[in-house]
Amino acid sequence: MQVLMILSQIWKSGADIYLDAKDDRIAIKNQKLIPKPVMEAAEQHGQVIDQWFKSWKNANGEKVTLMKMVHQMCGWQHNQKLNDWLCNEKESLTLFDDWMVLLAKNGWTDIYEDFRQYENNQSNKLSHELYKRAVAYAKKVNK
Within this chain, do residues 123 and 98 fall inside the same structural domain, yes or no? Answer: yes
pLDDT at residue number 142: 82
Residues 114, 52: contact at Cβ < 8 Å?
A: yes
- Which segments of the chain are extended strands (E)? 16-20, 25-29
> Is 98 in the same domain as 45?
no
Q: Are residues 48 and 111 in the same domain?
A: no
Q: Is the pLDDT of residue 128 over 80?
A: yes
> What domain range is 25 assigned to?
3-55
What pLDDT was estimated at residue 141? 86
pLDDT at 34 over 80: yes
- Residue 71, phi then psi, degrees to nearest 5: -65, -35
Task: Identify whether residues 42 and 98 lie together within a single domain.
Answer: no
Give 60-114 pLDDT, tens digit per residue. Answer: 999 999 999 999 999 999 999 999 999 999 999 999 999 999 999 999 999 999 9
Question: Is 85 in the same domain as 17?
Answer: no
Q: Average pLDDT in the 23-41 region?
A: 96
What does the pLDDT read at residue 26? 95
Q: Within this chain, do residues 47 and 67 fall inside the same structural domain, yes or no?
A: no
* Claim to verify: residue 118 and residue 86 sit in the same structural domain: yes
pLDDT of residue 31: 96
Q: Return the ∠ at Cα 53 (arms to 72 and 41), rounded to 5°.
A: 85
Residue finishing a domain among 34, 55, 76 = 55
The number of folded domains in the chain is 2
- Closest by CA to 103, choosing from 114, 90, 92, is 114
Say yes or no: 73 and 122 in one domain: yes
pLDDT digits (tens, 9 = 90+) for 2-23: 999 999 999 999 999 999 989 9
Spatial contact of 48 and 54, defined as CB atoms under 8 Å apart = no
Give yes or no: residues 46 and 67 share one domain: no
Of 55, 74, 96, the one marking the end of a domain is: 55
What's the pLDDT score for residue 143? Answer: 76
- Whether residue 69 sits in one domain with residue 51: no
Residues 97, 135, single domain; the answer is: yes
The pLDDT assigned to 135 comes to 95
Q: Does the pLDDT at position 1 exceed 70?
A: no
What single-letter DSSP state applies at residue 20? E
Same domain membership, residue 134 and residue 72: yes
